[in-house]
Amino acid sequence: MKVVSKLANMNLTVGRMYREGNRLVITNEGGEGIPTKVYVHPRDVLGTMGAFFKSFQAIVFILLFPYFYIKARNDKDEIVTPKAMNNPWV
């Protein structure tokens, strides 16, 4: 995944997922960039599902995912290096 905002320009990889209480924790441990933990609350899941089902384009993306996956295997995505990241700690 690529995150692009005024605060960050970085690639984010999903390393591990596990449950902690009533939250899902998604980590990027020692991958690219800063080690990151994302805490997903059940409300976040409901909000995401609601946004997904309201978006025709998101539904089409999921239905056509096998095609997009095969096509994207040969794509050359922009690789974000530590110098290109908007990251004051690197």
Does any domain span residue 7? yes
Does any domain span residue 90? no
DSSP states of 18-72: EEETTEEEEEE-SSSSS-EEEEE-HHHHHHHHHHHHH-HHHHHHHHTHHHHHHHH
Does any domain span residue 26? yes
| DSSP conformation class of 82 | T
Per-residue confidence at 9, pLDDT binned at 50, 70, 90?
Answer: confident
Model-wide pTM > 0.75: no
pLDDT, one tens digit per residue, over 36-89 is: 888 999 999 999 999 999 999 999 999 999 998 888 887 766 555 555 555 555
Does any domain span residue 35? yes
Does any domain span residue 65? yes
Structural domain including 28 reads 2-72
Does any domain span residue 89? no
pLDDT, one tens digit per residue, over 29-48 is: 765 667 788 899 999 999 99
